[in-house]
Amino acid sequence: MTEQDILNLILQDKWMMSVIYAAAALNLKDWIIGAGFVRNKVWNHLLEIEKETVDTRDIDLVYFDPNGNDEKADEELSEKLRQKTGITWEVVNEYYAHKWNNLPPYKSTEDAISQWPETVTAIGVTLDKNNKLKLIAPYGIDDLINFKIRISPKFKGDSELLKKRMADKKWKEKWPRVNGKII
């Protein structure tokens, strides 16, 4: 599986594309829909699990705008999107999000997602300036397509947090090929 194969999977999924277009309509700067949105779609495909929509708790829409929303405004936007689409959204301006983890400021959305816990989560999609679907994968796709759970090199947490996340999200139960051992 290549990056283009992943993009093609998403392009062929009407529900995913409707979510992407809803995000694009917000005109946020440097935005990405990431985490389970892409990861779960790829894992479902690789295991031939047919799902009408991607198995995700929410849509992680992140963006980077020094002059953009604060946390309260992002929460209000998330709720507005939920009411409009019936989907739970988590909209976050990564300009302020570094404070939650006591980290230096992020430089961009890609820099922010590169510091998410696992390499298989540090992945997302956006539309480029020509409205062409673009994959953002700071660590590539090898871990994702091989079901390897690896701590992101820039993540400041430990493997115990990743073990808890894996258990809470039931990755091994949903996708049996997920390597239960954190690398």
The size of the chain, in residues, is: 183
Q: Which residue ranges make up each domain of the chain?
A: 3-174
Q: What is the CATH number of domain 3-174?
A: 3.30.460.10
Percent of the chain with pLDDT over 90: 77
Is 62 in contact with 94 (CB distance < 8 Å)? Answer: yes
Sorting pLDDT into bands at 50, 70 and 90, what band is 52? low
pLDDT in tens, 110-122: 999 999 999 999 9
Helices (H) and strands (E) in the chain, counts: 9, 5
Asked if 161 contacts 131 with a C-beta cutoff of 8 angstroms, the reply is: no
In this prediction, residue 162 carries a pLDDT of: 87
| Pairing, β 59-63 against β 89-93 | parallel
146 pLDDT above the threshold of 70: yes
Within 10 A of 173 (CB to CB), how many other CB atoms are there? Answer: 10
What is the Cα–Cα distance from 135 to 10, expressed in whole angstroms? 10
Q: Decide: residue 108, CB within 10 A, 0-12 exposed, 13-18 middle, 19+ buried.
A: middle
CA angle 32, 36, 37 (to 5 degrees): 55
pTM for this model (two decimals): 0.92
Query: Residues 6 or more apart from 40 whose CB is under 8 A from it?
Result: 54, 55, 56
Distance CA 155, CA 34 (A): 16
The tokens describing 111, both together, are 């820099």
pLDDT (tens digit, 9 = 90+) per residue, 89-133? 999 999 999 998 888 999 999 999 999 999 999 999 999 999 999
pLDDT of residue 157: 82
